[in-house]
Structure 1
Amino acid sequence: MGQGMSEVASGVYVTSALVARQSKVLDEFGITHVISIQAKPINPFAHREYLLIPAKDHVSQDLLQFAGQCNDFIHSARLNQGKVLIHW
């Protein structure tokens, strides 16, 4: 997939924070929802829904504690034909 984004499931993409900051790229892919997994989240764009996960990029970080919240966010987006981008 172009622009450094990979589609990991239908309508669900992963990428870096660098790509997630590029509104034009998100528009090209039709991204409507973003899960931002960072200690310091990026500034959200007004026309997208965001789930901000305050997690460190470290092996000791327990990401499973956020799995249910992320799953619910993705499920809701996909039920409404949205496309989700996950970045860290």
Structure 2
Amino acid sequence: MGQGMSEVAPGVYVTSALVARQGNVLDEHGITHVISIQKTPISPFAHRQYLLIPAKDHISQDILQYASQCNDFIHNARLNQGKRGRKKP
């Protein structure tokens, strides 16, 4: 996919916080919803919706406690056609 992004399901990507801060990359892929899993929030872009999961990057962190919340966020984004069409290369 380039830019350090992986499409893990149609319209669902996994990437680093560095890439998630690059509005042009998000625009290029039509990304409208972002889940950020880190202690400090990223600076949001006005035309996107964000879910902050305040987890630390440590083996003892129980991230499963956030699974339902993340699933609901992704499900609602897809139901509402949150992902815009991709720009053609």
Contact 1:11 1:82 in 2 (8 A): no
Question: Which residue identity lines up with residue 59 of structure 1 in the other structure?
Answer: I
Tell me which protein shows more strand as a share of its residues: 1
Supply the distance in 1 between the matched residues of 2:59 and 2:45 (Cα, whole angstroms): 29
Per-residue CA shift, 1:40-88, capped at 9, x if unaligned?
12111111000011000110000000000000000000111223xxxxx
Question: Which residue identity lines up with residue 37 of structure 1 in the other structure?
Answer: I
Name the count of aligned residue pairs: 83
Please identify the structure whose Cα radius of gyration is greater.
2
Give the gaps of 5 or more residues in structure 2. Answer: 84-89
- Aligned alpha-carbon RMSD (Å): 0.7
Per-residue CA shift, 1:4-28, capped at 9, x if unaligned?
1100011100000010000000000
Question: Which residue identity lines up with residue 14 of structure 2 in the other structure?
Answer: V
Give the gaps of 5 or more residues in structure 1. Answer: 84-88
Q: Secondary structure at the match of 1:67?
A: helix
Q: Secondary structure at the match of 2:60?
A: coil
Aligned: 1:19 with 2:23: no
Percent identity of equivalent pairs: 84
